Structure 1
Amino acid sequence: MKVFITILALAVASASAYESVVHPKDITKAEKIQGRITNGYPAYEGKAPYTVGLGFSGGWWCGGSIIGNTWVLTASHCTGGDGVTVYFGATWRTNAQYTHYVSSGNFIDHWVDDIALIRIPHVDFWSMVNKVELPSYNDRNDQFQDSWAVACGWGGTYDGSPLPDWLQCVDLQVIGNSECESYYGNSIVNTNIICVRVVDGKGTCGGDSGGPLVSHNGNKLIGVTNWVSGSGCQAGHPAGFQRVTHHLDWIRDNTGISY
């Protein structure tokens, strides 16, 4: 676990007037399935071909997004261990079209913000495995406020649930940072963060860390799953993502990908 997570926890503790946050990958899982899907809907095959599952050697699970033939974008708090098995084109979580194991030497962490790159072997694109486009430089000042986006992953379907086998997606509305700050304060919600409204328990949850938030309009990757309310995924408090437009230069400098 990265040092900045500890710093983040201390910052939250010092701002007791605000809600705490937690990384979805660190939420305790239930020992058996209970209840029903409450925070999303099962994805049809090929709905989100850019979404990959990441099974890290340390035993945890995250999501990621294919942004190029040799690159996956995820969260920095996910990366660790000796390496990761990347599941490509999976709808059933562990029944991928194919997998690649990637050693930790291929991880590139931002170290300041909670975003990371994974260099992967070259993959060819087709209907089940494909990239998602990044926002263009013309979009870098777009806050996407009030727009709708879709998040997909194999995270928990309710607070404390085990990971589902079938890929889940949920449609979410982006909110302004000022609304998000009213819950968490500006030490958590900075210019690198984009937030979504959580209504009727619909949002990201345990295991979704690092996964994509893709705009309905233009199908562009606008967020990387970072945190949910410390009160729980279904508490009705906003969820936070790394704002991809904030990181376009960093992504370009490390991958050569830009629009």
Structure 2
Amino acid sequence: MKVFITLLALAVASASAYEEVIHNKDITKVNKIEGRITNGYPAYEGKAPYTVGLGFSGGWWCGGSIISNTWVLTAEHCTGSADSVTVYFGATWRTNAQYTHWVSRNDMINHNSADIALIRIPHVDFWHMVNKVELPSYNDRYNDYNGWWAVACGWGGTYDGSPLPDWLQCVDLQVIHNSECAQTYGGLIQDNIICVRTPDGKSTCGGDSGGPLVSHDGNKLIGVTNWVSAAGCQSGHPSGFQRVTYHLDWIRDHTGIAY
């Protein structure tokens, strides 16, 4: 089968004998977000206080997760070419944040070989609208989370081709084994990837890039939103995330955060 995947920020196709993907970021230089939380539900205020909006100087929108008072975790395809970013904290309504911080290129750390990145932020105090999400502990580094349920949240349209909603959307998704995901995407699925099923048109998509995938059990950040099938967010093909447990050493080395 020959398909495409969509990076949920910048539209990038990668050659494959199987399905290809596109990142969940907006299509380059056009006023359209390629992707969104589809067929999810509006989040109540304070549901996902660790979720931040990221408005980049290049004109694209992504999400991210607060992992400490001074760090946000997101996707490298969001930060890679950015000169600066405005971080929106506690913004259930997309641009109506509790407060914002502007961050320069110097405070972004891109992974050299994986679609994950860190943003150093000015110290933020935590309360019910703005709070961190914990990383998995080192005891869980070999947990594949197969069959676990998790919640993804972000801003974007609610169906393929829709306008962007202003209200934060969330969707509950079930993690699948990488061998099942590889049946669709082949060799793209390596140990650093975690995939979820997308039944009934429920999925992440563009504008959600870099956002959180948080386990129902334990409320741990297990994934960073990366891509969906270029066949569409509602195609029923699995969507992909960076597997946070795979990157625990990298995160610790740059931030000192470890459990």
Is the shorter-chain TM-score for this pair beyond 0.5, marking a shared fold?
Answer: yes
Unaligned runs of 5+ in 2: 1-9
Contact 1:194/1:223 (CA < 8 Å) preserved in 2?
yes
- Secondary structure of 1:185's counterpart equals helix
Q: Quick one: which amino acid aligns to residue 237 of structure 1? A: H
Contact 1:90/1:96 (CA < 8 Å) preserved in 2?
yes
**Residue 85 (structure 1) aligns with:** 86
**Residue 249 (structure 2) aligns with:** 249
- Secondary structure of 1:254's counterpart equals helix
Offset of residue 162 of structure 1: 2.6
**Residue 176 (structure 2) aligns with:** 175
Runs of 4+ with deviation above 4 angstroms = 27-31
Q: Quick one: which amino acid aligns to residue 181 of structure 2? A: C
Q: Quick one: which amino acid aligns to residue 182 of structure 2? A: E
- Secondary structure of 2:200's counterpart equals coil
Contact 1:157/1:205 (CA < 8 Å) preserved in 2?
no
Pair 1:207-2:203 in alignment: no
Contact 1:151/1:170 (CA < 8 Å) preserved in 2?
yes
**Residue 75 (structure 1) aligns with:** 75
Q: What pairs up with 1:28-67 in 2 under 5 angstroms?
A: 38-67=38-67
Measure the CA separation in 2 of the matches of 1:179 and 1:230.
18
Measure the CA separation in 2 of the matches of 1:27 and 1:101.
23
TM-score (norm 1): 0.90
Offset of residue 111 of structure 1: 1.8
Offset of residue 27 of structure 1: 5.0
**Residue 163 (structure 2) aligns with:** 162
- Secondary structure of 1:200's counterpart equals helix
Q: Quick one: which amino acid aligns to residue 229 of structure 1? A: S
**Residue 216 (structure 1) aligns with:** 216
Q: Quick one: which amino acid aligns to residue 162 of structure 1? A: P
- Secondary structure of 1:182's counterpart equals helix
Measure the CA separation in 2 of the matches of 1:229 and 1:179.
15
Q: Quick one: which amino acid aligns to residue 149 of structure 2? A: W
Q: Quick one: which amino acid aligns to residue 23 of structure 2? A: H
Measure the CA separation in 1 of the matches of 2:50 and 2:165.
19
Offset of residue 228 of structure 1: 0.2
**Residue 34 (structure 1) aligns with:** none
**Residue 5 (structure 2) aligns with:** none
**Residue 148 (structure 2) aligns with:** 147
Q: What pairs up with 1:58-137 in 2 under 5 angstroms?
A: 58-79=58-79, 80-137=81-138
Pair 1:194-2:182 in alignment: no
Q: CA RMSD in A?
A: 1.9
Counting aligned pairs with the same residue, the percent is 78
Q: Quick one: which amino acid aligns to residue 159 of structure 2? A: Y
- Secondary structure of 1:78's counterpart equals helix
Q: How many residues align?
A: 245
Offset of residue 38 of structure 1: 5.0
Measure the CA separation in 2 of the matches of 1:81 and 1:144.
32
Measure the CA separation in 2 of the matches of 1:102 and 1:163.
24
TM-score (norm 2): 0.90
Measure the CA separation in 2 of the matches of 1:58 and 1:250.
27
**Residue 6 (structure 2) aligns with:** none
Contact 2:38/2:233 (CA < 8 Å) preserved in 1?
no
Contact 1:19/1:184 (CA < 8 Å) preserved in 2?
yes
Offset of residue 54 of structure 1: 0.1
